Amino acid sequence: MKSAAREVLKERSMVIQKEMLAKLFKELSHAKEMGKKVVYTFVPGNLTELILALDMLPVYPEINALQSGMRKKSAAYIRDAEKAGHSEDVCTYVKCDIGMMLSGNIGPTGEKLPEPDLLLLSYTGCFTFMKWFENLERLYPGVPVAMLHTPYQEDGRITEDMLAYMVRQLKEDVIPKMEKTAGKKLDYSRLSAMMEDSVRAEDLLVKVLETAKSKPSPIDAYFAGVYYIGPMFTAFRGTGEAVEYYRELYQEVQERLRLGLGPVTPEGEIEEEKFRLVVEGPPNWTSFREFWKIFYDAGAVIVASSYTKVGGVFDTGFRHDPQRPLESLSEYCMSCYTNMNLPQRIELLSSYIREYRADGFLINSIKSCNSFSAGQLLMMREIEQRLGIPVGFIESDLVDPRYFSYANIKNRLDSYFQMLEQRKIIMEQEAPK
């Protein structure tokens, strides 16, 4: 039986982030009367600095969908979308977002979101994004569409031709359409200055995530990690607010590191770190706290995850370059996790397992998300053979509660944790005395 949920414990950084988001949604609710233009776009490969440099406000449909899932509203939105003709097999982010729009487009804070002035599609490895925007185009007829087509890293590298192709699109199509919508020319010096703040925030985020290399880890890089990446992957990269947030977060994590404390969960700090895991795939949002609780009740800490890299893989060295703003925006889009090929993903996850001294590797496969789920079994078997560590596989969904079975997932995870425990006992017995 699931225990009653306690009040979520909030650190100062969480309060700062909540205030940042509340301010954003307040601005969005008054955007039209303030004369602000609104851009609908996506998280992977987002062009946030460009949007903000032109004094426009971004809206991220998949963020609205996951927020709806956490607020237990997604089921009704998904039903509305299916009644409108969308298949059960369609990405549930899409159906939730469309259902929300059909139901009045009320955002996560209870305030109505404005209609878009521009649909900005930065395509990064997820074909669904293109079909999603076709639906948005039908919902908002007459709204211009700007598409930045991002070449896939088929050979695992970014070539000069790929970079030139991206920059040309920005210069000749994307930025002119954005300027026309904004009613002003892009100030490149302002864009470069914003990227300086991007770099400061990216440095701090990487420092926070890399504290998980310590034993015990002072953070959970999956469940708590989704909060840590929030400002970076959405509307705040390139702002002083994001830098302030990450400075506060880094100080908090450093203090926990100094005191030898484990991650903060909704019910307090984990008392004992029993297992260290690397996780592939997004979390489930409709039962987020219950899902997390299975892990921290077992003393399982996620020390690295692929999901916290969907909006940028900064821990491998990439930083936005204020001296090369368009080139670095292009490189950023091409290096997002969903735009990496399978060998690259396997190598990245393997490096996390080694560097963060993980005890196991776990996949949460998402029923309706082909972008993440394709190739996961291959990745799991390759990592198991390469590193010889226990691997686990569970399945849920993003925001459709019909595909989250608490009992089934808990049984699978309990068995997996028992396997990890047994392996530890055997390794201790075989260790030289």
Residues 6+ apart with CB under 8 A from 142: none
How far apart CA 290 and CA 221 sit, in angstroms, is 17
H/E element, 407: helix 406-430
Residue among 177, 195, 44, 196 nearest 117 (CA): 177
Residue among 272, 333, 329, 338 nearest 307 (CA): 338
pTM over 0.85: yes
Question: H helices within 214-264, ranges in order?
Answer: 225-228, 230-233, 240-259
22: left (phi > 0), else alpha (psi -120 to 50), else beta? alpha
Delineate the domains of the chain, giving CATH numbers in brackets.
12-186 (3.40.50.11890)
How far apart CA 228 and CA 161 sit, in angstroms, is 34
Residues 6+ apart with CB under 8 A from 55: 36, 37, 182, 184
**pLDDT per residue of the chain (433 residues) written in tens, 0 to 9:** 444 444 555 678 889 999 999 899 999 999 999 999 999 999 988 999 999 999 999 999 989 999 999 999 999 999 999 998 888 888 999 999 999 999 999 987 788 999 999 999 987 767 778 788 888 888 899 999 999 999 988 888 999 999 999 999 999 999 999 999 999 999 999 999 999 999 999 999 999 999 999 999 999 999 999 999 999 998 999 999 999 999 999 999 999 999 999 999 999 889 899 999 999 999 999 999 999 999 999 999 999 999 999 999 999 999 999 999 999 999 999 999 988 999 999 999 999 999 999 999 999 999 888 777 888 999 999 999 999 999 999 999 999 999 999 999 999 999 999 999 999 888 777 777 6
The DSSP call for residue 117 is S
Residues 6+ apart with CB under 8 A from 400: 74, 75, 78, 92, 95, 96, 286, 367, 368
